[in-house]
Structure 1
Amino acid sequence: MRDHIPVVVQGRGRRARRAGLVGVLWATAELTVTVGVVVLLLVVHQVWWTNRQAAAAAQEQVRSLEQSWALERAGSPERAGSPERAPGDDPPASGGPASSPGPSASSASSAPSAPAPVPSGRAAGPSGAYAVLRIPRLGLVVPVAQGIDRRAVLDKGYVGQYPGTAGPGAQGNFALAGHRNTHGEPFRYINRLRAGDELIVDMRGRRYTYVVGKILSETTERDTGVIAPVPRSLVKPEQGYGEPGAYITLTTCTPEYSSKYRLVVWGTLRP
């Protein structure tokens, strides 16, 4: 009787190891693709969808403001033609932004012939917006609200007025902030503005036209001088103004998709 000799197939173990490796690689590839799709969806939501939502809501707010002003004029033309000041609307005695650290700049105490009051909450719409900023060169029409809180103002696609700065048309500095990217990105293209361009502010039947005078392409986020009553950079003192007047300031982040620095556009009220 012959002994039974088992036959050993040497390649079977290799094939099993190879199949296991292929399975691991396949699972890793699937996981990588899944993560990539999730990240892509998050980017699309942040960059595209939030823009559409915020921009649409901002335009609806512009229409709401304009309709309320039209009704106000139709129902009470005398009241609509005169400015209204509410208690607590006066700017701080220092003349600088209420929430900004650093030295305050001095400004003239005399008021222009027809100043606009710093708006109160009861004069604003339900969302807090009280004025409309128009920039013809950029085709921009956007509501203006008080404050620069991200959730309450900027993420809605609005531009926000720095606390304590002058109202539209008033002596001092009407200083505004807005997103450059995402959430409606109203100030995305303000780097394209040039000297002589118009910045128009409408508020309750009144229109104030500012003219772009100077642009500071880059400064630090702590450069509070750019929103002082007489705006002048504390980081680059050669940039800014030296005389009291009625100014407007637009500020946003730079470079794009970064908040490292600030881009600043200044204008003066057209007589």
Structure 2
Amino acid sequence: MPSSPPSPDLRELRADLRADCDRCVALCCVAPAFAASADFAFDKPAGTPCRHLRTATRCGIHAELRDRGMPGCEVFDCFGAGQRVTALTGAGRDWRADPTTTAAVFAVLPVMRQLTEVLWHLVEAELLVPAGALQDEIVALRARVEALTTAPGLPDVDVPALRATAGALLGQVSEQARAGVPGRGRDRVGADLLGRDLRRTRLRGASLRGAYLIGADLRGADLHRTDLLGADLRAADLRGSDLTGALFLTVPQLTAARGDAATAIPADLPRPAHWEP
């Protein structure tokens, strides 16, 4: 299974930004709402336990999520927010018994999840640029966000402003990282590329930030140093493509896409179990 060598310490630096269900209490199975769709087999209101949640705070169909019409659960990643909320509030252990506590815990979770996603990208960004002013800004913002994840009153965080600040920094990092890519492709920031055949499109070193690539044909595509921040890869065909060195790629993006054994991915990211062998 092809993959790129891991970036220096990236896997280790992101260790606490991966979901650890043993340190959580199934918050993602209760707090979010979802509606019957291609991603979920039924409706579930916010704050209501999923019908498949077992008493031991474990999913009863975790090994069959796609077969049981719940691929949305498989794609979801809290970036370690669940265990952080459980540890921060201490009350996460009691959400089933204390309705007052439940509301507070569930209010914190979506805020924490956005903070940990920002941290996921900042950790990578810090390794992509040399020592200097830009790296210093990244380090400072990362420290600020880390401090927020351990502070009380998370719902009061101005998340949109924080994401905007992080997005601007990541944009500068992206430009630096892609500047020297030979034969760099044309940027398609936020482009509507739904279902497009992109097999012969030069994408190496391009910015596909926020692009809609749902169902796009990317078989055999060279995505080295391609900025994929926020790109929607649901059902995108990545068979045989090369994502080694792709910028700001996440586990949910890979899980939402279609790939195979010939799809090359960064070594610090897990290969989705449903991809073709």
The TM-score with structure 1 as length reference comes to 0.23
Question: Based on CA coordinates, which of the two structures has the bigger radius of gyration?
Answer: 1
Please state which structure has a larger fraction of its residues in helix.
2
Please state which structure has a larger fraction of its residues in strand.
1
The TM-score with structure 2 as length reference comes to 0.22
